[in-house]
């Protein structure tokens, strides 16, 4: 159960908290974590280099993220990264389906901080279309 966990990261503090929860779940299940960041551009090209992944992230998240990942590694949690281009909702849902992920862990909100919404549009779209359970952190 929850052996493959997908964690969409936009660099926001919300997404870092999602990673922390994902690490907790992975420790309980012996699962592996895959971080995915989607850059909003045309065609979907997949790059899995860690450096590229960090480069594309919003400033807030960058250093915190690598600290957390180091911690996860020390605690024996397997982690990988995916950098994908395209529409965030489409790409996250597609990756979850094609990769047979059993759980998605993501933030309620992200970097855009539009007032008045309980969950952002990316979270909403993923909740609506995901092939697996979605854990939303706040
Ligand atoms: N481009 C993206 N790539 C990967 N994950 C994302 C991306 N944008 C948002 N997310 C995920 O969705 C969560 C909610 O963000 P979002 O729905 O965009 O809210 P907001 O409108 O506040 O930015 C984030 O915490 C993150 O987990
Ligand atoms: Mg956003």
Whole-number average pLDDT of the chain: 89
Count of structural domains within the chain: 1
pLDDT, one tens digit per residue, over 67-81 is: 888 888 888 999 998
Residues at CB less than 6 angstroms from ligand 1: 8-10, 12, 14-15, 18, 36-38, 88, 106-107, 109-114, 120-123
CATH of the domain at 71: 3.40.50.620
pLDDT for res 85: 87
- Domain boundaries, position 110: 4-137
pLDDT, one tens digit per residue, over 59-115 is: 767 777 888 888 888 889 999 989 888 899 999 999 999 999 999 999 999 988 777
pLDDT for res 43: 63
Residues 65, 9 contacting (CB under 8 angstroms): yes
Residue 1, classed as helix, strand or coil, is coil
Residues forming beta bridges with residue 46, ordered by sequence position: 84
pLDDT of residue 42 exceeding 70, the answer is no
pLDDT of residue 116 exceeding 80, the answer is no
């Amino acid at each position: 159960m929850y052996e493959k966990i997908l964690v969409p990261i936009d660099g926001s503090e919300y997404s870092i908290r999602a990673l922390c929860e994902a690490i907790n779940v992975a420790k309980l299940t012996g699962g592996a974590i895959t971080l995915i960041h989607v850059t909003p551009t045309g065609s979907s090209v997949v790059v899995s280099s860690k450096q590229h992944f960090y480069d594309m992230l919003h400033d807030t998240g960058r250093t915190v993220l690598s600290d957390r990942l180091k911690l996860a590694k020390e605690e024996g949690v397997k982690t990988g990264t995916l950098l994908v281009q395209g529409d965030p909702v489409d790409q996250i849902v597609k990756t979850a389906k094609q990769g047979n992920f059993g759980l998605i862990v993501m933030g309620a909100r992200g970097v855009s901080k539009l007032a008045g919404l309980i969950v952002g549009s990316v979270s909403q779209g993923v909740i609506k279309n995901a092939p697996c359970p979605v854990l939303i952190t706040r």
